Structure 1
Amino acid sequence: MPKITELRGLFKPFTKPLHRQWKWVWQEKGKFNEPKLTLPKALEDRQINIIDPLHEPDPNALPDESTPWISPTRHPMFEYLVPPLPREQHPLFHHDRSVFLFDSKTRLHAGVDQACLLTKTIPFYELPQSIKQTLGQVSLPDQDDLIQSYIRQSIAYDATKEHLPRKKSPLKQRRSFRIEYGIPRSRQMSIVLENMIYLCESLGGHYPDLFKRHLYRNIPFYTTYERYGELIHLRKQNEYVLTSHIPLSPIVKRLDKLEITSGNNTNEQITSHDPNGHYLIQANDYQFLDMYPIYPTIDLSLEQLYQDGDEQGWKQRKSNEYVHTIFHVSNDELIHEATADERLARMIMFTFGSALVQARQLYPNGILTKPVTIQSIFFLDELFHFIVFQLNTLNYNDTNDKQCNYVWIDKDNYLYDNRPSMVMHNPVYGTERNLQRYVLEKLIYNPSVFQKFLALYLQGVK
């Protein structure tokens, strides 16, 4: 860089700003002194090839360009820098055999009958008699008022205000609605469901076994089983799973009377000797759905990226932890987006999968000495479905084996009526300002739903 005395006369006054003149002088008269490469003391004694960025690198010091570079940390910000692996090189890719994937988005066009065919299950469209007898026997003080307050809180009185989805006008009318902020539907359902579970937990003073239960949220679940010579992979993220320290007792305990048939010559002493003997009679009369020439797996997609083994979602900290109830919280945008038959089919498939994983853990040899029972509750806005699944056999491919699984279904239970729509436009109470008045005036509460919920929750307590 020239000295200031040498720069006299180079500046032209009043022609350009001073900083621009200094920039021009630096570009024309300046010199760049190349710094020397200095190594830290910690690296001087090591035999490391140092690449000087100011000079041409040594070709022997560079890595081979043919080897792909893999990022040490798979951060989403740098995924675009990493070339995606081919599907065949994925660590979960199975070359030898693909599976039929059943997840939370799968829909069975035949509904419950198709799910029962895939799981070798016989349905009964009622709650078991042992649960019906307990309805209304246990109650909480002011339970109906508390449930109604939970409903009001979830719809109108919660402090959460988020951007709601745009309302849609029917018949494709070109009508725009203003942006509204309120309580999202996922938040509404979690408020009602979690408060109902906490209300049931308040009975721990009368039933100490309730304190030994655990509630897990958003845990993964997957398992694989073979049916009709095809592998079926069940995969889902369970929203809520309730576990207990003892397994649920089976509904039908005597399974050695499957040769009994219904008719005029039916032994009437069976039902008096065994209260659930009529389920065995109905099971013999049930005919599975005949889908020929269509395969029962027609609605399931083929997949080669799946994990082997079984996963319940929690680590086996204790040997005495069993699935009690699975709560399925629907993510459908509208309550009429899927039919009740399709939702019940999903419940049967995933409840069967949870019972299958528990049976494999209890009986590694594959022979069930005692049936495995698991309950399941479906929840969407104000709609509840209750099912009780009993796994009786692990033999699904033998057509001569008469033992089948049982499932009890109690569907279409509405906690309240006249729910205000958050998506479709309501001309009377269509804005957030009128929701509180709507909730206070129009909702009709149904107390029988919580009685069933409480009866299922208290199963297995002493």
Structure 2
Amino acid sequence: MFPEAACCVKAAAPLFSSPGMMKASRLLTHGGSGAPQARRHFGLSGGLGAKSQPRRRPSERPDIPGLEMVTYAEKMHYMPRLTRPVFPRWERDYRDPRFYRAPPRHEMPLYKDKPCHVFNQRTNALNGVGQALWLSKTQKISGLPPQVLSLTENPANQIPDQDERVQNAIKHARFWDTTEDRPAKHKYRKTLLFNLLHLCSSLQPSHPAIGRRILAEEYSLGATWTRGEDLLQVRGENGFLHSSMDPLPVVSGREEVASTADHQLETFYPVSPTIDLQQTHVYKEDVNYTGFRDDYPYPHVHTLYLMEGGGLRRQPEQFRARMLMFTFGNALARARKLYGTQPQSVLDRPITVQSVGSNGRIFQFMVFQLNTTDLSGDDGVKNQVWMEEDVELYDFAKVRPYIKKKVVKVPTGLTGYKPETFTKFLAMYLHGAA
């Protein structure tokens, strides 16, 4: 009835004589409907079987002047060969936080052209403690201050049966405080810290000043300062905080503070000291808050306790830098409350803050003294920090023995207990109370 069509079919038949071409024909026809499959398998390059291009969202499709996309909006249902329509966003006449969409960054009320570099708990300083020393304009001194270590020399400042009770505290955290084979690391390091603090607090009858402290958790810190031409902030939640009604005594005298002006800070040229810090354009200026109200009865920071992360790869240098920055932030926020936001070249009474970090076995001790709030330049008086790094409380705490080549290398239980580590922990706890 249609001889021309029959001729066309016969003429096209030799094109698909080979098996490979027959397979391509099945891809194109797919039961007689060749157009959709041809669009799917012929990409923009025009080759057979080319990879399809990623489908763009309607909001990402470019608008071409003079061309209007044909959509299935008038059809009121989905059409496979028509473009998906873009409907205007429905604005509610009430506030629903589930569907809140933030405005563009440049339209936010707190947007500023000058960026701010933020140090938080997730910051990993590339140069570790050295970078934190430059950011806080601080001089590092190895070891703890002698006046702190000498507190435990008096027998009245020691706990009865001290070594035995500390070992029991370690065994409770590592062996007894679980129904599983062994407690998780994030659990036993917190339990050990609370056990040691409980032992230290047993000296309260002989040291009444211990009762003038309180332990806080999940509080927010914010401190702002200028370093050179950069605006810096340290903020976020940071571990447990021991605050007191009375400030810690000053560690360095006026002559030692004045001698810090000759100290030269380490530089990282050509690496910028703010390379690892979060850069943001939306922030509040002059953010200085300690996390508590002005009428808080324990306004003075005593000791900050931080827990080292339980990752597979331990980074003690970055952890110590985080300890230093948050210890400095607590001292700076307190100084802003006492002396105002104007930079002070030398504080009338320096602010002392302590910090203790631990991963459940290894401890980091730090005593920080804020001598100045004029942090813009490298000259003048510097702040001071005393650091005791990687102090082990014990060697091993094994639930099962470690056996190698049928020889017991590490026995079961607690081995390698070092009493001098807890002595330093107790000395920092008694600082300001003994």
Flag whether TM exceeds 0.5 (same fold).
yes
Task: Please give the alpha-carbon distance, in whole angstroms, between the structure 2 residues aligned to 1:443 and 1:390.
Answer: 36
Are residues 243 and 215 of structure 1, via their aligned partners in 2, closer, same or farther at CA, if it must alter by over 3 Å? same
Give 1:304 shift.
Answer: 3.1
Give 2:277's aligned residue: 300
Give 1:237's aligned residue: 237
Task: Please give the alpha-carbon distance, in whole angstroms, between the structure 1 residues aligned to 2:222 and 2:135.
Answer: 16
Give 1:128's aligned residue: 145
Are residues 125 and 256 of structure 1, via their aligned partners in 2, closer, same or farther at CA, if it must alter by over 3 Å? closer
Give 1:246 shift.
Answer: 1.1
Are residues 398 and 101 of structure 1, via their aligned partners in 2, closer, same or farther at CA, if it must alter by over 3 Å? closer
- In the TM superposition, what whole-angstrom CA distance separates every residue of 1:218-263 from its partner, at most 9, and x where no partner exists? 21222221111111121231221001111111111214774xxxxx
Task: Please give the alpha-carbon distance, in whole angstroms, between the structure 2 residues aligned to 1:156 and 1:370.
Answer: 46
Task: Please give the alpha-carbon distance, in whole angstroms, between the structure 2 residues aligned to 1:451 and 1:92.
Answer: 52
Task: Please give the alpha-carbon distance, in whole angstroms, between the structure 2 residues aligned to 1:85 and 1:160.
Answer: 46
Give 1:453's aligned residue: 425
**Corresponding residue SS for 1:134:** helix
Q: Give 1:215-234 correspondences, 5 Å limit.
A: 215-234=215-234
Give 1:352 shift.
Answer: 0.7
Give 1:86 shift.
Answer: 3.4
Give 1:160 shift.
Answer: 5.0
Are residues 183 and 402 of structure 1, via their aligned partners in 2, closer, same or farther at CA, if it must alter by over 3 Å? same
Task: Please give the alpha-carbon distance, in whole angstroms, between the structure 2 residues aligned to 1:155 and 1:236.
Answer: 30
Aligned 8 A contact 2:243 2:298 in 1: no
Aligned 8 A contact 2:399 2:412 in 1: no
Are residues 99 and 136 of structure 1, via their aligned partners in 2, closer, same or farther at CA, if it must alter by over 3 Å? same
Task: Please give the alpha-carbon distance, in whole angstroms, between the structure 1 residues aligned to 2:109 and 2:307.
Answer: 28
Give 1:323 shift.
Answer: 0.4
**Corresponding residue SS for 2:127:** coil
Q: Give 1:27-106 correspondences, 5 Å limit.
A: 68-69=91-92, 72=95, 74=97, 79=98, 82-88=99-105, 93-106=110-123
CA RMSD after TM alignment: 2.8
Identical-residue share of aligned pairs (%): 29
User: Unaligned 5+ residue runs, structure 2?
Assistant: 1-87, 405-409
Aligned 8 A contact 2:238 2:326 in 1: no
Task: Please give the alpha-carbon distance, in whole angstroms, between the structure 1 residues aligned to 2:115 and 2:91.
Answer: 28
Give 1:215 shift.
Answer: 0.6
Are residues 232 and 140 of structure 1, via their aligned partners in 2, closer, same or farther at CA, if it must alter by over 3 Å? same
Of 395, 415, 426 in structure 2, the residue corresponding to residue 443 of structure 1 is 415
Task: Please give the alpha-carbon distance, in whole angstroms, between the structure 2 residues aligned to 1:94 and 1:386.
Answer: 39
Give 2:375's aligned residue: 396
Q: Give 1:168-247 correspondences, 5 Å limit.
A: 182-247=182-247
Task: Please give the alpha-carbon distance, in whole angstroms, between the structure 1 residues aligned to 2:282 and 2:183.
Answer: 37
Aligned 8 A contact 1:241 1:327 in 2: yes
Answering whether residue 335 of structure 2 is matched by residue 359 of structure 1, we say: yes
**Corresponding residue SS for 2:358:** strand
Task: Please give the alpha-carbon distance, in whole angstroms, between the structure 2 residues aligned to 1:323 and 1:257.
Answer: 21
Are residues 83 and 253 of structure 1, via their aligned partners in 2, closer, same or farther at CA, if it must alter by over 3 Å? same
- Normalised by the size of structure 2, how large is the TM-score? 0.71
**Corresponding residue SS for 1:355:** helix
- Normalised by the size of structure 1, how large is the TM-score? 0.67
Q: Give 1:278-289 correspondences, 5 Å limit.
A: 280=259, 283=260, 286-289=263-266
Give 2:252's aligned residue: 252
Are residues 73 and 205 of structure 1, via their aligned partners in 2, closer, same or farther at CA, if it must alter by over 3 Å? farther
**Corresponding residue SS for 2:102:** coil
Give 1:346 shift.
Answer: 1.3
Answering whether residue 292 of structure 2 is matched by residue 317 of structure 1, we say: no
The one-letter code sitting in structure 2 at the alignment partner of 1:314 is: F
Give 2:317's aligned residue: 341
Are residues 136 and 92 of structure 1, via their aligned partners in 2, closer, same or farther at CA, if it must alter by over 3 Å? farther
Task: Please give the alpha-carbon distance, in whole angstroms, between the structure 1 residues aligned to 2:174 and 2:191.
Answer: 9
**Corresponding residue SS for 1:195:** helix
Aligned 8 A contact 2:151 2:430 in 1: no
Give 1:69 shift.
Answer: 2.9
Range that drifts further, 357-366 or 300-309: 300-309
Aligned 8 A contact 1:98 1:304 in 2: yes
Give 1:439 shift.
Answer: 4.7
Give 1:376's aligned residue: 355
Aligned 8 A contact 1:87 1:93 in 2: no
**Corresponding residue SS for 1:233:** strand
Give 1:136 shift.
Answer: 3.5
Aligned 8 A contact 2:182 2:399 in 1: no
The one-letter code sitting in structure 1 at the alignment partner of 2:271 is: I
Task: Please give the alpha-carbon distance, in whole angstroms, between the structure 2 residues aligned to 1:287 and 1:73.
Answer: 55
Give 1:52's aligned residue: none
Give 2:396's aligned residue: 418
Give 1:414 shift.
Answer: 0.6
Are residues 200 and 113 of structure 1, via their aligned partners in 2, closer, same or farther at CA, if it must alter by over 3 Å? same
Q: How many residues align?
A: 337
Give 1:373 shift.
Answer: 0.7
Are residues 427 and 126 of structure 1, via their aligned partners in 2, closer, same or farther at CA, if it must alter by over 3 Å? closer
Are residues 205 and 113 of structure 1, via their aligned partners in 2, closer, same or farther at CA, if it must alter by over 3 Å? same
Answering whether residue 137 of structure 2 is matched by residue 158 of structure 1, we say: no
**Corresponding residue SS for 2:226:** strand
The one-letter code sitting in structure 2 at the alignment partner of 1:187 is: K
Aligned 8 A contact 1:92 1:307 in 2: no
Aligned 8 A contact 1:92 1:306 in 2: no
**Corresponding residue SS for 1:216:** strand
The one-letter code sitting in structure 2 at the alignment partner of 1:95 is: K
**Corresponding residue SS for 2:240:** strand
Task: Please give the alpha-carbon distance, in whole angstroms, between the structure 2 residues aligned to 1:395 and 1:360.
Answer: 12
Give 1:443 shift.
Answer: 2.1
Give 1:95 shift.
Answer: 3.0
Give 1:326's aligned residue: 304
Task: Please give the alpha-carbon distance, in whole angstroms, between the structure 1 residues aligned to 2:257 and 2:216.
Answer: 38
